[in-house]
Amino acid sequence: MPRILVIALVAVVVVVSAIVGRSQMTSDQPKIQIGGPFTLTDHTGKQVSDKDYAGKYMLVYFGYTFCPDVCPTSLSIVGDALGQLDADTLDKVVPIFITVDPERDTVELMASYVPHFHDKMVGLTGTMAQVKSVVKAYKAYFAKTGNEENGNYTVDHSSRTYLMGPDGAYVTSFAHATPAADMAKKLAETF
């Protein structure tokens, strides 16, 4: 092959790999925008924000205490997964249950509910505006269904469990009914 062609070929390869490398870098850059600041009230009645959990992983689930099935299942899985972690790993995570039904889920109700699933579990409630804000930030979803007038409504809601990093950034999320052992394995690998 003539020398000039070899040089031209090398130049093309260098330019192409630079372009590919650059596009990979830029495509990595927009991090998934899930999560963000929140202000809510915990199950002890204390006003808290996301900053209170900075430095720890957060395992966040949205639901409500009257939920007949989905929430107890999801929160039991979180509790079981945490039960499978060693003490050092467990210390790095805060499990958080955020209600999407703040009108019924009072501080007192949250306080009687969350310890059923894990003694580290934090229950967060607040005003409807605060709840809507955090639900939106996490790209979660909820909607009341049924008879709102007599209080016999249910709330449809998304049922992913979000893992957020010590810096507050999204790490991953778990689909509903992920086996506890799988969740525990992922947590142990990540921390």
Span interacting with Ni ion, options 7-15, 63-71, 106-114, 179-187, rule CB under 5 A: 63-71
70 binds Ni ion (CB under 5 A): yes
98 binds Ni ion (CB under 5 A): no
90 binds Ni ion (CB under 5 A): no
Asked whether 116 and 142 are in contact (CB, 8 A), the reply is no
Binding mask 19-58 for Ni ion (x = CB under 5 A): ----------------------------------------
* Side chain identity, residue 78: V
What's the min distance (Å) between Cβ of 152 and Ni ion? Answer: 16
Beta carbons within 8 Å of 82's beta carbon, 6+ residues apart? 59, 90, 93, 95, 118, 120, 184
What's the min distance (Å) between Cβ of 76 and Ni ion? Answer: 12
Q: Which of 34, 40, 67, 82 binds Ni ion (CB under 5 A)?
A: 67
Residue 178: name the closest of 61, 91, 96, 99 by CA.
61
Question: What are φ and ψ of residue 166, in 5° steps?
Answer: -60, -20
63 binds Ni ion (CB under 5 A): yes
What's the min distance (Å) between Cβ of 77 and Ni ion? Answer: 13
* Side chain identity, residue 52: D
Span interacting with Ni ion, options 18-26, 65-73, 110-118, 140-148, rule CB under 5 A: 65-73
- CA–CA separation, 80 vs 184, rounded Å? 8
Span interacting with Ni ion, options 21-29, 39-47, 67-75, 98-106, rule CB under 5 A: 67-75
Q: Which is nearer to Ni ion, 72 or 166 (CB)?
A: 72
Asked whether 162 and 138 are in contact (CB, 8 A), the reply is yes
Q: What is the DSSP letter of 51?
A: G
123 binds Ni ion (CB under 5 A): no
Q: What is the CA radius of gyration of the chain?
A: 22
- CA–CA separation, 28 vs 170, rounded Å? 14
Q: Which is nearer to Ni ion, 98 or 183 (CB)?
A: 98
Kindly list the residues in this chain that would bind Ni ion in the complex (CB under 5 A): 63, 67, 70-71
